[in-house]
Amino acid sequence: MKAQRIISRPSVFGWPILIGVLGVGGIVVGLLGEGVLDWLCWAGTGIALIPVGRVLSRRSSGRSETRDKG
């Protein structure tokens, strides 16, 4: 029997890659100095929490999250 091939869109990783790159950049940049670099560090490290906050705020405002593409 021929194995079923599941094709995933490259866009699945679009946002995660952006968040990951900014996250690593933020974590690293904080070690290089203070002042503006600290702010960049906090922004980069904290960016991962934005989508979580968005989901939580949507949930509290009662909007449905289900948007299946299939």
Partner 1 sequence: MKSGTIRAWHVVHKWTSLVCTVFLLMLCITGLPLIFHDEIDALAEGEPRVPAMATDTPLRSYDDMVTTAMRLNPGERPLFMSFYEDIPAVNVTTAKSAQPGDGEYTITAIDLRTAEPIGSSDEVGTVGMIMEVILRLHVDLFADLPGKLFLGFMGFLFLIATISGVVLYAPFMRKLDFATVRHDRSAQTRWLDWHNLLGIVTLAWVSIVGLTGVINTLSDPMFDFWRANQLAELIAPYKDLDPVPVEQFGSVHKALETARAAAPGTQPQFVAFPGTRFSSEHHFAVWMRGGTAATAELLTPALIDTKTGELTAMRTMPWYMLALRLSQPFHFGDYAGLPLKILWALLDIAAIIILWSGLKLWLGKRKERNSAARVSTQVLA
Say if CB 40 and CB 26 are below 8 A apart: yes
Say if CB 25 and CB 42 are below 8 A apart: no
Q: Nearest CA to 37 among 20, 49, 25, 19?
A: 25
Query: Among residue numbers 11 through 70, which ones bind partner 1 (CB under 8 A)?
Result: 12-16, 19-21, 23-24, 27, 30-34, 37-38, 41-42, 45-46, 48-49, 51-52, 54-55, 59, 64-70
- Contact residues toward partner 1 (CB under 8 A) are 3-9, 12-16, 19-21, 23-24, 27, 30-34, 37-38, 41-42, 45-46, 48-49, 51-52, 54-55, 59, 64-70
